[in-house]
Structure 1
Amino acid sequence: MDDHELPAGWAAATVDDLGEYINGCAFKPTDWHDTGTPIVRIQNLTDPDKRLNVTQREVDPKYHIGKRDILVSWSATLDVFRWGGPLAYVNQHIFKVLPTEHLDDRFVEFALKKAISELINSEHLHGSTMKHINRKPFLAHPINVPPFPEQQRIVEKIETLFAELDKGEEALREVQKLLARYRQSVLKAAVTGTLTAYWRAANGPPQENGADLLARILKIRRETWQGRGKYKEPAEPDTAGLPELPEGWVWATMPMLGEFGRGKSKHRPRGDPKLYKGGKYPFLQTGRVRNSSGRISEYDKLYSDFGLAQSKLWPAGTVCITIAANIAESGILEIDACFPDSVVGLVPHEDIEGSYIELFIRTAKADLDRFAPATAQKNINLDTLNNVAVPLPPAEEQKEIADKVTTLVGASMVIERGLERELERSAALRQSILKDAFSGKLVPQDPSDQPAEKLLERIRTARAEKPKAKRKKAAA
């Protein structure tokens, strides 16, 4: 059978024929309350552990969702989900799907998954940063529909095959969790001195301990100050309640360790072509820091001389820390680059190992995230980072820690990449199963099944006879 030829008894349809699609309600942060009905946002579908915002706002019953309702996320993360939580309201950018009664709802779910995967790889995917699919091409996307009994046979076969894939993926993700815990334990051991305890014992007291190193750095800065106004000593860290450090270590703050400040991008509008025409200076956003895995070598755009004049070029080796949207993501510049004020930079003194500071930020990420208010876009201010107490080892031990962490974490990342490849293979196999299912190759056809064309006739007749909802008149 040709790939474009319909199997016996099948009929050509569209996503629109499969059901009704209700776009979610547009909730604002001002609608969020301490108690009330949960609001299901895209992040709650992709990560069930994400906190649900709740509201006391009354909304149209069409936005209510319950267990097992089919939801289609058509913006940012494009996928099909079954809601497994309590009675809730569906947020905008998510379709609530009401499958037609003439089709198996599980078949509709798999048909929508296939449609979304095809649309993602089509000209109908829009947006450079926030990917989305418009309603019209989504509803018009073609879907082949088999007779009802064959739908049920297809669903049973898919569920059997997917269940086997689920087991394998679950095992892979458990290993990923173990690796993540291992990496976190390595980082914790690094910044508490446990990782280098044997190294300290073998090498004896350092030529210059952490306290002397810090004093020397501050003395040099004081004597060579060329900044604006009178030199101001960085504030001492508040060590009340902090644990005792290994011998030779000292508590410090990031402003003590080098040049520390927010990035700049003053000009508005930010998309002004003058900022980028003939550009030659790399400019990066918070996403580049978040996705850098600790080393930042890629950028978003190139600033022109005009763009550079309203920004600041930070040197390679700068430790970057995000303070908006994604809190305390970190990485080290491998190129000279500009960044906006949603990123903070630390240019460490030559005797401060930037890699050590960056790995410390990773251990402090969860604590820093708690300082961010629960607003639409989470953020922390520079003062929060100014006051973070940093455990500072002697210079030689900083390098030893950075080298050990690179070796240990690097080995775990090799395993991690192998796991990711296996998960990608599993995802590809799912798509292959769906392709076979919707081309009539997964289960045999039964000539005694009523042709699907009859189903579609009933669906379209019922839709044509359904009273159309009256549009509310706009307020004068």
Structure 2
Amino acid sequence: MSELPDGWVQIALGEALQIQKGKKPIGLGPKGDDRLVPYINISAFETKLVKEYAPEQDVPHCEPSDTLLVWDGARAGLAGRGIGGFIGSTLARLTSDLADPSYIYYFVHSNYGYLNTHTKGVGIPHIDPIVLAEIAFPLPPSGEQTRIVAKLEELLSDLDAGVAELKAAQKKLVHYRQSLLKAAVEGVLTAEWRTQHIPTETGAQLLERILTERRVRWETKQLVKFKEQGKTPPKDWQKKYPEPMQPDTTDLPELPEGWVWASVDQVAEVFLGKMLDKTKHTSGEKLAYLRNVNVRWGSIEIDDVYEMFFNIDELERYGLIAGDVLVCEGGEPGRAAICRKEHERFKYQKALHRVRMFNLYEPELLVAFLEFVAQTGRLAKTFTGSTINHFTKESFVALCIPLPAMAEQRMIVEHIAAEIRNISDQESAIGLSLKQSTAQRQNILRAAFAGQLVPQDPNDESASALLESIRAERVEREKQPKIRKTKQQKEIAAMVSKLIHVLAEEGDWVSAQEAFRRCGVADGALTDQIEGLYAELRALDKAGRLAVEAVTDAQGRKLHDRLKLLPT
């Protein structure tokens, strides 16, 4: 750390902090007469929405002025503002008798990256308290802390407002892209174009041509097979032609004049890729292949590809040519992208469908339609699988797609491409601005903790004097005798011991509310009494003497807890 201004002092962060780890309270449930204290778990911390409450009891409590720190999990080290309530077990409360609460918050928050990458634990990462305690902490004079916090809140508030506007613009671009795709596949995008152009071939006529060429391709392949096998084509062999699946247009929207619905089976050839089996595929030519992770919406990423063996008779079957569309069978089913010339050197795995349309349907239009029906949820209705979704070949070839005339298809694709470029440019500009905002935030915080954000005041009491005073106070507190139990505390202890007898006498399940009532704790009871009883419950639970079970209604909503004393 660079040299600090006059009046500042550098100490270990551990000396400035008091850390209190959270603990899950008992009796959690919806807010009710006996559950009034918010429970701040990781979800409430992240969303600021409290869903669970607990009765008053002796567990760590947080105030809005405190700093909360994620102690356990993937986001360990993330700091946030406090929320009034009980602290969850994966969080910790940070307070300080040396520094302004907001100054502590901003400083710890600025160290998230360091804390998150210096955790301990093999499975679940945890904050390393030694790492936290040893962070160098710049302590300004008390008055300057106040000025720094005020300036930070002014600057960061403006920055946050700008970031919010950028993220709102991002959302608008997403919505615009959805509207663009909808207009494209429903014919709205080219509505005016159709009034000025009469195609020489309608969608219905194009479909007839596609089906004719489909049959010709099949017959040609069959004749090649007969020739390779040295056989004469048998009588009526053409009758074995597999007719394509007819489109089921039930509940589908009406298309513009000149368009028709067609099944994927009618307009395209669909093949799944090769199954990866390292035990069987050990010979042939080792070639790079594409997986569903390589296929993104509208693009194919080739920086992470694997290899496997392909036999010579599989090279064409699993080959790719420019214009083919690859569609994910699993992962994010339906996600699709077009193969370009540079992708022809790859093969493809079974998790992908290869769609070949023989220049009779624009591949960009198919990708746009798949993205549109994926966004609207229509595509998901065709998936199979209870836990993992799959877009099977049977489902895919049955999918209905809109078929305009070829000239209109090209016009749609041209419009989409121009608008997508515009969207991409705006997204890139917003992304750059967001990165700049992040860098600006870091620069502001760096200046704050280097003493460069606000001017120093020579009249401020120095940080060293503040530190000396606080250290002296701490020493004096340590000298204070331990507080003995008061009369009220003795009464609580007696009441607590009675709880064991109440549970033993019942010998079976009893509601917590009824057990407390028999112990003399009812409406209007002292908070210390309630906390004492809950402390006893935790002790019994830890000793294996207590069973606690939630009682729910028919909808599974928790009503209350019931208790039972277990034998020793």
Question: How does the TM-score come out when normalised to structure 1?
Answer: 0.69
Superposition deviation, residue 407 in structure 1:
0.9
CA distance in 2, matches of 1:65, 1:16: 20
Task: Pick which of 359-368 and 219-228 moved more.
Answer: 219-228
Amino acid at match of 2:68: I
Match of 1:400 among 411, 427, 433: 411
Match of 2:215 among 187, 195, 219: 219
Match for residue 31 of structure 1? none
Amino acid at match of 1:12: I
Extract unaligned runs of 5+ from structure 1: 26-36, 56-60, 127-131, 464-468
SS of equivalent to 1:236: coil
CA distance in 2, matches of 1:326, 1:85: 37
Match for residue 32 of structure 1? none
**Structure-to-structure mapping, 1:156-195, within 5 angstroms:** 156-195=150-189
Match of 2:288 among 263, 281, 284: 281
What CA deviation, in whole Å up to 9, does each residue of 1:415-444 have, x standing for no partner?
232222222211110010111122222234
CA distance in 1, matches of 2:63, 2:396: 42
* Alpha carbons of structure 1 residues 378 and 12: separation in structure 2 relative to 1, 3 Å: farther
Superposition deviation, residue 159 in structure 1:
1.4
Extract unaligned runs of 5+ from structure 2: 25-37, 53-57, 226-239, 479-537, 545-568
Match for residue 429 of structure 2? 418
Superposition deviation, residue 163 in structure 1:
0.8
Matched, 1:356 2:376: no
CA distance in 1, matches of 2:333, 2:84: 29
CA distance in 1, matches of 2:83, 2:382: 27
SS of equivalent to 1:244: coil
Amino acid at match of 2:93: L
CA distance in 1, matches of 2:386, 2:68: 26
Superposition deviation, residue 20 in structure 1:
4.4
Query: Does structure 1 retain, via aligned residues, the 8 Å contact 2:73–2:125?
Result: yes
* Alpha carbons of structure 1 residues 39 and 409: separation in structure 2 relative to 1, 3 Å: farther
SS of equivalent to 1:300: coil
Superposition deviation, residue 89 in structure 1:
9.7
Query: Does structure 2 retain, via aligned residues, the 8 Å contact 1:265–1:341?
Result: yes
Superposition deviation, residue 406 in structure 1:
0.4
Matched, 1:112 2:76: no
* Alpha carbons of structure 1 residues 83 and 106: separation in structure 2 relative to 1, 3 Å: closer
SS of equivalent to 2:327: strand
Match of 2:453 among 442, 450, 464: 442
CA distance in 2, matches of 1:283, 1:76: 30
Match for residue 379 of structure 1? 389
Superposition deviation, residue 360 in structure 1:
0.9
Query: Does structure 2 retain, via aligned residues, the 8 Å contact 1:208–1:394?
Result: yes
Task: Give aligned-pair identity as a percent.
Answer: 25
Superposition deviation, residue 384 in structure 1:
4.6
Match for residue 2 of structure 2? 3
Task: Pick which of 150-159 and 75-84 moved more.
Answer: 75-84
SS of equivalent to 2:295: helix
* Alpha carbons of structure 1 residues 156 and 282: separation in structure 2 relative to 1, 3 Å: farther
Matched, 1:300 2:314: no
Match for residue 318 of structure 1? 324
SS of equivalent to 1:303: strand
CA distance in 2, matches of 1:156, 1:65: 23
Task: Say what the alpha-carbon RMSD is for the aligned residues.
Answer: 5.3
Superposition deviation, residue 99 in structure 1:
1.0
* Alpha carbons of structure 1 residues 440 and 246: separation in structure 2 relative to 1, 3 Å: same
* Alpha carbons of structure 1 residues 23 and 370: separation in structure 2 relative to 1, 3 Å: farther
* Alpha carbons of structure 1 residues 391 and 438: separation in structure 2 relative to 1, 3 Å: same
CA distance in 2, matches of 1:365, 1:7: 61
Match of 2:92 among 91, 94, 97: 97
Query: Does structure 2 retain, via aligned residues, the 8 Å contact 1:320–1:346?
Result: yes
Matched, 1:153 2:152: no
What CA deviation, in whole Å up to 9, does each residue of 1:327-377 have, x standing for no partner?
54332233143555554442333222111111111111121575499x997
* Alpha carbons of structure 1 residues 4 and 405: separation in structure 2 relative to 1, 3 Å: same
Match of 1:80 among 78, 95, 117: 78
Query: Does structure 2 retain, via aligned residues, the 8 Å contact 1:372–1:379?
Result: no
Match of 2:196 among 180, 184, 202: 202
* Alpha carbons of structure 1 residues 376 and 251: separation in structure 2 relative to 1, 3 Å: closer
CA distance in 1, matches of 2:95, 2:311: 55
SS of equivalent to 1:11: strand
* Alpha carbons of structure 1 residues 141 and 285: separation in structure 2 relative to 1, 3 Å: farther
Match for residue 399 of structure 2? 388
**Structure-to-structure mapping, 1:228-377, within 5 angstroms:** 232-264=242-274, 266-267=276-277, 281-286=288-293, 288-290=294-296, 294-305=298-309, 312-334=318-340, 335-336=343-344, 337-338=346-347, 340-366=349-375, 367-368=377-378, 371=381
Superposition deviation, residue 183 in structure 1:
2.2
Query: Does structure 1 retain, via aligned residues, the 8 Å contact 2:71–2:92?
Result: no
CA distance in 1, matches of 2:45, 2:23: 14
CA distance in 2, matches of 1:458, 1:361: 69
Query: Does structure 2 retain, via aligned residues, the 8 Å contact 1:320–1:332?
Result: yes
CA distance in 1, matches of 2:438, 2:164: 13
**Structure-to-structure mapping, 1:445-456, within 5 angstroms:** 445=456, 447-451=460-464, 453=467
Aligned length: 430
Query: Does structure 1 retain, via aligned residues, the 8 Å contact 2:67–2:101?
Result: no
Superposition deviation, residue 306 in structure 1:
7.1
SS of equivalent to 2:437: helix
CA distance in 2, matches of 1:217, 1:84: 69
What CA deviation, in whole Å up to 9, does each residue of 1:57-111 have, x standing for no partner?
xxxx9899998973549877788364899999979xxx52311343544334322
What CA deviation, in whole Å up to 9, does each residue of 1:166-217 have, x standing for no partner?
2222222333333332222221111011111222232213335343244235
